[in-house]
Amino acid sequence: MTTDLLDLDLLRTFVLAVDLNSFARAADQVARSQSAVSLQMQRLEEITGHQLFIKQGRGWQLTASGDLLLGYARQLLDINQQAVAALSATQIAGKVRLGIPADFAETGLPTVLARFAAVHPHMEIEVTIDRQAPLAQQLESGKLDVIISFGKTIPENAIPIGSLPVQWIGSSQHIAITRQDPLPLLLFEAPCLFRKIGLNALEKINRSWRPALTSGSLAGMWAAAQAGLGITIRTAMGLPTGCTVLNGTSGLPSLPDVEVFMLTYKKSPSKAVKRLIEILHETIAISIKQKA
Residue 11's H or E segment, with its range, is helix 8-20
Together in a domain, 152 and 284: yes
Query: Residue 201, SS3?
Result: helix
Cα gap 127→99, rounded to integer Å: 6
The answer to whether position 29 is within a domain reads: yes
Pick the most confident of 10-14, 19-23, 120-124: 10-14
Over range 185-199, report the average pLDDT.
Answer: 93
Amino acid (1-letter code) at residue 8: L
Query: Residue 97, SS3?
Result: strand
Q: How many CB atoms lie within 10 A of CB 46?
A: 11
**What CATH number is associated with residue 23?**
1.10.10.10
User: What's the pTM value of the predicted model, to 2 decimals?
Assistant: 0.72
Q: pLDDT tens-digit profile of 47-91?
A: 999 999 998 888 888 999 999 999 999 989 988 877 876 666 456
From 86, 111, 130, give the residue that closes a domain.
Answer: 86
Together in a domain, 155 and 264: yes
Residues of the domain holding 266: 90-160+260-291
